[in-house]
Amino acid sequence: MTPDDLREEMEKALRGWDVDYVEVRIDETTSTRIVYRGRDLEEIGRSRSFGGNVRALYRGGWGFVSFNDPRDLRRRVEQAVAQARFVGREKSHLAEVEPVVAIVPLEVGKDPRLVPLARKKELLDQYNELIWSTPGVSSSNIFYSDAHKRVLFASSEGAFVQQERIDVTVRIGATARRNGDVQQASVSLGALNDYSFVETLHDEVQRVARRAVELLDAPYVKPGVYPVVLDPILAGVFCHEAFGHLSEADHIYENERLRELMVLGRRFGQPVLNIVDGAAVPGLRGSYRYDDEGVPAQKTYLIKEGVLVGRLHSRETAGKMGERPTGNARALDYRFPPIVRMTNTYIEPGDATFEQLIADIKEGVYACNWYGGTTSMEMFTFSAGEAYMIRNGRVAELLRPVKLTGNVFETLMNIDGIGRDLAFNQGGGCGKAGQMPLPVSNGSPHIRIRQCVVGER
Amino acid sequence: MLEELIDVALRRGAQEAEAFYSEVEETPVLFEANRLKQLNGRQVSGVALRVIVDGRLGAASSSRPGDVEGLVEMALEAAPYGPEAHFSFPAEDGYPQVETYDVAVEAFPLDDMVHLGQSLIDAVRRQQPELVCDASVRKAIHRVVGLNSNGGSFQYRRTIFSVGVHGTLVRGTDMLFVGDSQASCQAIRDGSAVVGEVLRQLRWAERTARVATGEMPVVFTPQGVAGALLGPLATAFSGRMVHQGQSPLAGRLGERLYDRRFSLWDDPTLPYRTGSRICDDEGVASRRLPLVEEGVVRHFLYDLQTAGMAGAEPTGHGSRGPGGQVGISPSCLVFSEGEMGLEELVREVGEGLVVEQLMGAGQGNVLGGDFSGNVLLGYKIEGGEVVGRVKDTVVAGNVHRLLAEALLALGRGRWVGGSLYVPPIAFARLSVAAKG
């Protein structure tokens, strides 16, 4: 079936149901993945995922049906409607939005679908060879993927949205080993609708390989509390993990205590701190025109001058909290209902130079790059891929990778310096409620945290 | 459709071909903020095709119904650039009998699922009314069919039933997270085991306590073992990590590397576990595989390709990812156990820390067995009793070293998450750092 046929079927299937709301989403993703582990190419594969779902709302209860076969769509709608009616006992809250009808054209730079598989493999072979030609490297891993996705969405309110995107991601890692000591370095990169960055990674790959080897000779940090400066990548991840998830309204809207904690107007940081999320910021991994409920993308201030001023919503959380929807309802694919997710989350630039940020730090840690991290809303832990001591206002010796941990609220308050060099990390994927990896980007300039617990990784 | 796929692939020039079909029909009943919120019906399926052309492996997968042409074309396109195939698809078609299907799961009424879920929430909130709970009750039917051009053929059905409840308690900026879940191929009618675990967590977390920084005895609850220790431990037994020399166990088969009381095996033939199956996703027959016997390293886990590269026997641990790609993963891991229950173990230890949930596990040199993290849920032991919940506490260690040198006692095991049988484990000393 062509998209036009599907649209007709979807709109037909949605007519005439006695529920508060019902929607159909159908998506198709065609992807290529190439994986190296060590010297060997481990996998080269192509896949196509095709399927759809129906979501129905009746008196506050949801029904959700997912499937692969798009025929007999009306029967699927009937199932979801019956489920919603079985569950619904209260009142539906869905923030009002103007139903959008839009077919969004794909604006693509270099299209990975037009690059022959042979050419992609040749390039990755070069990168793998570059890693292995670095003395001291004991292993490598490379993950490449490109995926084209087309999503069709229609609702009982008359919305219809057709959107396409191409996600390109590359992760490159090197391992060095000496006498049972193992060190790793890696980089994750990505882009929306453009393959070209993949072609120019030679220097980056070499840097990663050398870094893994250098780490074998680096000293451990002396665990303790330090002033810490984060590079844009790590600061972006901090912003996403430690604060972003807290601002997702689905965590809050049904929990009275959390609503009190996350009340708008509450001070979370110093006046220099401004945090934004928005899919309307164009050209990034988390960018789109409409979310998976057909709500136009926006740019939402979460923290302005240190004060909580907004949060991320689906139509339901916005409706329930009496706030405006922000276009943050996203689904990984047809197997899942849309839930509140981040898009492009970043700390806005201030006016400090990097030199100014570290100038009055006598002994501190400069932590860069991202290795991993999680948050429990209250506490966070994340690891830096690279770290250096800061001594007397200067970046000093390379350290073994460090781990930063602490209380989210205290740490946000402790951010007291913000650089002017905003940069985005596009290599990440976010996970929530089993939906992973969802394309997002995180960004920040260099930031300074007055004090933070730093440990060995 | 699978026969057709293989025929078309062979006709278009593949020397060998293998097709794999899997289907899941799942009905989750989901509760949010203490009440029923959502009912789902998931019916998804997919087909994966692998071909060997001139000794090279091409792979493709599709969830588009009837996509024979697309699949063959994608797999053949990938093959010339694919990895060298170090195996042939197995010709087996005789498999052990393994119980994985319970008709009662399929027949389990929706109303009863709703009642079960609500009863979990109610039981937990009777003890702590301020708790905001999410819960889920799920039933699912999996169907798996595999076929290859060398005559290999398998199919089986598996039912899965799971229940879980998770609660959050917020006081100011202080947050407590408790929860437990249980899964089986058989219908679960009684949620009291799950409720009992959560009530214990609540009881133990009722008060707060502080530990001092230093080395101390630490008890990992079964959930703690599963969450914090299993990842770094299991990675070391992956045949791929061993073959690449990344596992610290590489080259050490037959050596006693752990305490004699520690044994570990993988057993997909156990009845009604969520990882039970007659064969793996490549058609290699299931069998009970000892990984560690009384401290001695006995086997590693292999899929076909890695076994071929390493010159080892395939062990039946090829497992398909969502894109149809084959990786290595355990089926049902079973730890050796002791006599003592968790509370007795705490008494035995006397002074120290209990770890139930660790945050930030999975970072660091996981390949080498390191783990570390913030204690998300953990308790202080004083005078043989749990005296309260600890916060702002970080633990770090190496799972291989702990199991070799610091094992104090293994307690009585239980199933965690359906396919993992783990005891609580007490270690004599672990490095603990506490703030303030």
pLDDT tens, A319-343?
A: 999 999 999 999 999 999 999 999 9
Give the pLDDT confidence score for residue A457 in this predicted structure: 64
Same domain as B238, residue B98:
no
Residue B323 pLDDT greater than 90, yes or no: no
Using alpha carbons only, how large is chain B's radius of gyration in Å? 23
Report chain B residues whose CB lies below 8 A from the CB of A457: 363-365, 372
B362 band by pLDDT with thresholds 50, 70 and 90: low
Backbone angles phi, psi at B261, to 5 degrees: -75, -10
Q: Mean pLDDT in chain A?
A: 95
Q: Among partner residues A67, A372, A378, which is closest to B175 by beta-carbon distance?
A: A378
Q: How far apart are CA B134 and CA A6, in angstroms?
A: 36
Same domain as B227, residue B141:
no
Q: How close, in Å, is residue A125 to chain B by CA atoms?
A: 11
Same domain as B233, residue B166:
no
For residues A133-143, average pLDDT: 95
Q: How far apart are CA B421 and CA B333, in angstroms?
A: 6
Same domain as B213, residue B193:
no
Same domain as B196, residue B212:
no
Closest chain B CA to residue A179: B248
Q: How far apart are CA B354 and CA B420, in angstroms?
A: 20
Give the pLDDT confidence score for residue A216 in this predicted structure: 93
Give the pLDDT confidence score for residue B366 in this predicted structure: 78
What's the angle, vertex CA A86, arms to CA A84 and CA A89, rounded to 5? 85
Determine contact, residues A456/A221, Cβ cutoff 8 Å: yes
Closest chain B CA to residue A406: B392
Domain containing B430 equals: 207-436
Residue B322 pLDDT greater than 80, yes or no: no
Which of the residue ranges A9-13, A248-252, A426-430, B205-209 would you say has the lowest mean pLDDT?
Answer: A426-430
Same domain as B223, residue B159:
no
Q: Among partner residues B59, B324, B359, which is closest to A376 by beta-carbon distance?
A: B359
Secondary structure class of A191 (helix, strand, coil): strand
Same domain as B281, residue B132:
no
Q: Among partner residues B38, B40, B177, which is closest to A376 by beta-carbon distance?
A: B177
Give the pLDDT confidence score for residue B320 in this predicted structure: 93
Is B41's CB within 8 Å of A86's CB?
no
Same domain as B393, residue B308:
yes
What's the angle, vertex CA B199, arms to CA B193 and CA B202, rounded to 5? 145
Same domain as B274, residue B142:
no
Give the pLDDT confidence score for residue B360 in this predicted structure: 73
Q: How far apart are CA A172 and CA A175, in angstroms?
A: 10
Q: Among partner residues B74, B78, B175, which is closest to A376 by beta-carbon distance?
A: B175
Residue that wins the pLDDT comparison between A382 and A8: A8
Which residues make beta-bridge pairs with A455? A403
Q: Mean pLDDT in chain B?
A: 95
Share of chain B above pLDDT 70, in %: 99
Q: A123: Cβ–Cβ under 8 A, 6 or more apart, which residues? A: A198, A199
Work out how many domains chain B is built from and give that number: 2
The residue among B182, B202, B222 that closes a domain is B202
For residues A22-33, average pLDDT: 97
Look up the pTM and report it.
0.95
Give the pLDDT confidence score for residue A135 in this predicted structure: 96
Give the pLDDT confidence score for residue A329 in this predicted structure: 98
Give the pLDDT confidence score for residue B436 in this predicted structure: 57
Is B39's CB within 8 Å of A254's CB?
no
For residues B242-268, average pLDDT: 95
Judge residue A18's burial from the number of C-beta atoms within 10 Å of its C-beta, 0-12 exposed, 13-18 middle, 19 or more buried: exposed
What's the angle, vertex CA B55, arms to CA B241 and CA B73, rounded to 5? 100
The residue among B202, B229, B247 that closes a domain is B202
Q: A59: Cβ–Cβ under 8 A, 6 or more apart, which residues? A: A20, A88, A89, A90, A91, A92
Q: How far apart are CA A29 and CA A36, in angstroms?
A: 23
Is A45's CB within 8 Å of B360's CB?
no
Give the pLDDT confidence score for residue A428 in this predicted structure: 82
Same domain as B226, residue B142:
no
Q: Which of residues 335-354 of A touch B (CB under 8 A)?
A: 335, 337
A223 band by pLDDT with thresholds 50, 70 and 90: confident
The complex scores an ipTM of: 0.93
The residue among B155, B176, B202 that closes a domain is B202
Q: Is A43 on the interface with B (CB under 8 A)?
A: yes
Report chain A residues whose CB lies below 8 A from the CB of B171: 257
Give the pLDDT confidence score for residue B364 in this predicted structure: 62
Report chain B residues whose CB lies below 8 A from the CB of A47: 60-62, 74, 323-324
Structure tokens at B293: 């016997």
Q: How close, in Å, is residue B74 to chain A by CA atoms?
A: 6
Residue that wins the pLDDT comparison between A382 and A227: A227
Give the pLDDT confidence score for residue A383 in this predicted structure: 86
For residues A291-318, average pLDDT: 98
Q: Among partner residues A35, A40, A87, which is closest to B38 by beta-carbon distance?
A: A87
Same domain as B246, residue B164:
no
Report chain A residues whose CB lies below 8 A from the CB of B110: 86
For residues B251-267, average pLDDT: 98
Which residues make beta-bridge pairs with A64? A55, B40
Same domain as B275, residue B420:
yes
Report chain A residues whose CB lies below 8 A from the CB of B77: 46, 117
Share of chain B above pLDDT 90, in %: 90
Residue B365 pLDDT greater than 80, yes or no: no
For residues A21-34, average pLDDT: 97
For residues B83-102, average pLDDT: 95
CATH number of the domain residue B178 falls in: 3.30.2290.10
Is A47's CB within 8 Å of B41's CB?
no
